[in-house]
C-alpha cells in the first residue's frame, strides 16, 4: 500500500542552491530540524517500524538509519508535526531502496529503515500487546513503567510544557505495566532484536519514582540480564540520594537526569512541576552524587536544544561533561498535542555548533563515547554521531584508536553485566521504612 504524507512545498520555496551536501551527522541534524515528507512510493508499514508514540516525550517520528563510514546513525525523524509540511526533504522508495532528496540542491541520500521487530505484534502470556508495554527507540528498549506522570494530574496541570506523555499513557500504551509483562517483553527483545539496554522511565511519582522502578530493575537484571538504565525525577533533597545506591545494588547500570534547560528561569517556566516539587538543583545534586560513585559516562544529563539561547545549551554541556557525565542532547520538537505545539522547530545553523561542541567537550573530559555494546539512541544526536562534525586530524584518528581499545577492554565488563544474575540488593531495604513522603 502506498503511504503519503504530502502537501508538497512549491519548488520556488527551495530555489536556493547554496545548501551544500550534508555529511551523515549534518543530515541527521537537518532532518531533526525539518522532518521529512513522505512520497507515495513509501511503504513503511511493510518496510519499516511503525511510528510509535509509546513513551514519547519528544519523539514520535519515523525511525531511519543513515549509513556512514565512521558509524551508522539512528534517527527518529519528525513526520507528524505541522512544520514537516514545508520540509525540503522528501523520502521515497526507488528500486527497492529508500532515499531522501533535498529539494534545495537536489542531493540524494540513501537510507535504511530498521524493520519492525516481530514481537511488536506479539502478546504477553497475560494477553497484553507487547508494543504497548515498551518500544525500541533506536536499538534500546524503552519502558514507561508508571500510570502516567503526576505532574499531569491536578488543576492546573504542571506538566513539562514540551511533553505529551500524560496524554499517551492509556491511549497508545497500557496504563499499568506488570512485572511479568515487562520481563517477557525484555526477554523477547533481547533474543530477537539483540537489545542490550533496557531503559525504565517513570516521570513524577510524588517522590516514589525510584521505588516504583526498583522491582522492574531487579526482575529484568535477574531473569533476563541486560544493561539497565533508570530515569525518574530525583529526590528533593540529599536525604533521598541513598536510593541510587540501592538501585545499583538491584542492578541499575545507568542513571539519566532530565533537567532539560540550563537557564533557571527557562527551567522554572517550562517545567513548572519540576520547579515546584524538587527544583533544578535537585537534578544537579543527584547527577553529581551518582556520577561520583560510578564510572565516567555512566550517568547522563538530558537537555533540550533549540528553546533556550545557544550559549545556555553550551554551558549545560560543559557542566554535564565537567562532572564526568554523558550529555544527551535532544533537538526540540514541537510535538503534536503538546503545549509547545506552535513553537518553531530549531534552526539547523544553531544546532550544528551545539553538537560539535558536545563531541569536543566529551573528548576533552575523557568521557568514553560509543563504547557500550549496541546502544544507539534515535531521539538524540549521540555524542559519537558528532564525530562527523570535527576535522579528521591525526589527533582525531588517534583518539578513535584509543576509544576502540577502551571498547575492547570494556567488553568483558559489559558481557558480565548482561548475564542474568542474582543481585545484591533486596526490595525492602531498611531505609525505606524511615522515608517520609515529600
Partner 1 sequence: MIRTPAGDFAVPPDGNVVALQTWLHALQSSAALFHWRQDRAGIDLACAIPVAEQPNRARLKLFAPDMGVMVAFFYKESQVPFSTDRFAYGAMIHRRCAPTESECAASVVWMLSGLHPEQRPEGIKRAFPFDIPR
d(CA 126, CA 181): 7
Residue 40 in grid coordinates: 507515495
Residue 374's binding partner out of ligand SF4, partner 1, none, with CB under 5 to 8 Å set by partner kind: none
| CB nearer to ligand SF4: pick between 203 and 240 | 203
Closest CA to 51 of 82, 78, 90, 74: 78
Count, residues near ligand SF4 per rule CB under 6 A: 10
Enter the C-alpha cell of residue 319.
557542566
From 255, 160, 238, 262, select the one nearest 201 (Cα to Cα). Answer: 255
DSSP conformation letters of 413-437: HHHHHTS----S--SS-HHHHHPPP
Cβ closest to partner 1, residue 336 vs residue 410: 336
Binders of ligand SF4 among residues 48 to 77 (CB under 6 A) are 57
Residue 5 contacts which entry, ligand SF4, partner 1, none (Cβ below 5-8 A, type-dependent): partner 1
Contact 78, 343 (CB under 8 A): no
Q: Which of 35, 142, 203, 368 binds ligand SF4 (CB under 6 A)?
A: 203
Chain residues that interact with partner 1, rule: CB under 8 A? 1, 3-5, 7, 38, 43-45, 50-53, 60, 62, 79-80, 147-149, 152-153, 157, 159, 164, 166-172, 174-175, 336-339, 341-342
Cell of 280: 533544578
Angle among Cα 163, 165, 170 to the nearest 5 degrees reads 155
Q: Give the one entry of ligand SF4, partner 1, none that residue 79 binds, where binding means its C-beta sits below a cut-off of 5 to 8 angstroms depending on kind.
A: partner 1
What are the grid coordinates assigned to 117, written together? 521487530
Residue 50 site contact among ligand SF4, partner 1, none (CB < 5 to 8 Å, cut-off depends on kind)? partner 1
Q: Is 149 in the site for ligand SF4 (CB under 6 A)?
A: yes
Out of 32, 98, 204, 259, name the contact with ligand SF4 by CB under 6 A.
Answer: 204
342 binds, among partner 1, ligand SF4, none (CB under 5 to 8 A by kind): partner 1
Q: How far is CA 25 from the centre of its chain?
A: 16
Q: One symbol per residue from 228 to 257: x for binding ligand SF4 (CB under 6 A), - otherwise; what is it? A: -----x------------------------
Task: Give the whole-angstrom CA distance, residue 323 versus residue 410.
Answer: 21
Sign of CA dihedral 254, 258, 261, 262: negative
* C-beta closer to ligand SF4: residue 91 or 163: 163
192 vs 276, beta carbon nearer ligand SF4:
276
CA distance 117 to 122: 10
Tell me which of partner 1, ligand SF4, none is bound by residue 160, counting a contact when its beta carbon lies within the kind-specific cut-off of 5 to 8 angstroms: ligand SF4
Selected range binding ligand SF4 among 159-167, 286-294, 367-375, 421-429, rule: CB under 6 A: 159-167
Smaller CB separation from partner 1, 1 or 12: 1
CA atoms within 13 A on the CB side of 118: 6
- For residue 123, the 8-state DSSP code is B
Q: Minimum distance between the CB of residue 47 and partner 1, rounded to whole angstroms?
A: 10
Nearest distance, CB of residue 166 and partner 1, angstroms: 4
Nearer to partner 1, 148 or 187 (CB): 148
User: Which residue in the block uniquely carries the three cell numbers 541534524?
Assistant: 29
The three cell numbers of residue 326 are 554523558
Q: How far apart are CA 203 and CA 36, in angstroms?
A: 29
- For residue 90, how many C-alpha atoms fall within 13 Å in the half-sphere facing its CB? 22
Of the candidate residues 124, 139, 159, 196, the single one contacting ligand SF4 (CB under 6 A): 159
Angle at CA 93, nearest 5°, toward 87 and 96? 160
373 binds, among ligand SF4, partner 1, none (CB under 5 to 8 A by kind): none
Q: Contact between 165 and ligand SF4 (CB under 6 A)? A: yes
List residues near ligand SF4 by CB under 6 A: 57, 149, 151, 159-160, 163, 165, 203-204, 233
Amino acid at each position: 500500500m502506498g503511504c503519503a504524507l504530502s502537501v508538497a512545498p512549491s519548488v520556488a520555496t527551495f530555489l536556493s542552491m547554496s545548501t551544500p551536501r550534508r555529511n551523515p551527522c549534518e543530515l541527521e541534524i537537518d532532518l531533526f530540524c525539518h522532518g521529512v515528507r513522505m512520497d507515495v512510493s513509501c511503504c513503511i508499514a511493510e518496510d519499516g517500524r511503525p511510528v510509535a508514540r509509546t513513551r514519547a516525550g519528544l519523539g514520535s517520528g519515523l525511525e531511519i538509519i543513515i549509513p556512514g563510514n565512521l558509524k551508522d546513525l539512528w534517527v527518529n525523524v519528525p513526520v507528524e508535526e505541522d512544520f514537516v509540511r514545508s520540509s525540503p526533504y522528501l523520502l521515497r522508495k526507488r528500486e527497492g531502496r529508500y532515499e531522501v532528496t533535498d529539494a534545495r540542491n537536489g542531493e540524494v541520500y540513501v537510507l535504511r529503515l530498521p524493520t519492525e521487530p516481530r514481537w511488536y505484534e506479539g502478546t504477553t502470556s497475560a494477553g497484553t500487546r507487547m508494543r504497548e508495554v515498551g518500544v525500541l527507540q533506536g536499538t534500546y528498549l524503552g519502558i514507561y513503567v508508571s500510570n502516567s506522570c503526576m505532574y499531569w494530574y491536578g488543576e492546573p496541570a504542571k506538566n513539562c510544557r514540551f511533553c505529551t506523555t500524560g496524554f499517551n499513557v492509556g491511549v497508545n500504551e497500557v496504563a499499568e505495566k506488570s512485572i511479568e509483562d515487562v520481563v517477557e517483553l525484555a526477554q523477547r527483545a533481547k533474543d530477537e532484536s539483540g537489545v542490550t539496554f533496557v531503559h525504565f522511565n517513570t516521570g513524577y511519582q510524588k517522590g516514589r519514582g525510584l521505588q516504583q522502578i526498583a522491582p522492574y530493575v531487579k526482575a529484568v537484571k535477574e531473569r533476563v540480564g541486560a544493561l539497565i538504565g533508570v530515569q525518574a525525577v530525583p529526590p528533593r533533597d540529599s536525604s533521598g540520594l541513598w536510593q541510587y545506591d540501592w538501585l545499583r545494588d538491584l542492578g541499575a547500570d545507568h542513571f539519566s537526569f532530565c533537567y532539560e534547560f540550563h537557564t533557571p528561569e527557562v527551567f522554572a517556566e517550562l517545567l513548572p512541576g519540576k520547579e515546584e516539587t524538587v527544583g533544578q538543583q535537585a537534578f544537579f545534586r543527584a547527577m553529581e552524587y551518582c556520577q561520583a560513585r560510578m564510572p565516567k559516562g555512566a550517568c547522563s544529563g538530558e537537555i533540550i536544544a533549540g528553546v533556550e539561547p545557544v550559549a545556555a545549551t553550551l554551558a549545560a554541556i560543559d557542566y554535564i561533561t565537567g562532572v564526568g557525565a554523558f550529555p544527551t542532547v535532544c533537538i526540540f520538537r514541537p510535538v503534536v498535542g503538546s503545549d509547545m505545539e506552535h513553537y518553531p522547530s530549531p534552526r539547523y545553523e544553531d544546532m550544528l555548533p551545539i553538537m560539535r561542541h558536545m563531541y569536543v567537550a566529551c573528548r576533552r573530559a575523557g568521557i568514553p563515547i560509543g563504547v557500550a555494546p549496541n546502544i544507539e539512541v534515535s531521539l538524540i544526536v549521540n555524542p559519537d554521531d558528532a564525530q562527523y562534525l570535527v576535522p579528521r586530524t591525526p589527533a582525531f584518528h588517534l583518539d578513535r584508536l584509543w576509544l576502540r581499545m577502551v571498547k575492547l577492554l570494556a567488553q568483558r565488563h559489559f558481557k558480565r553485566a548482561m548475564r542474568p544474575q542474582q543481585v545484591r540488593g533486596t526490595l525492602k531495604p531498611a531505609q525505606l521504612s524511615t522515608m517520609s513522603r515529600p
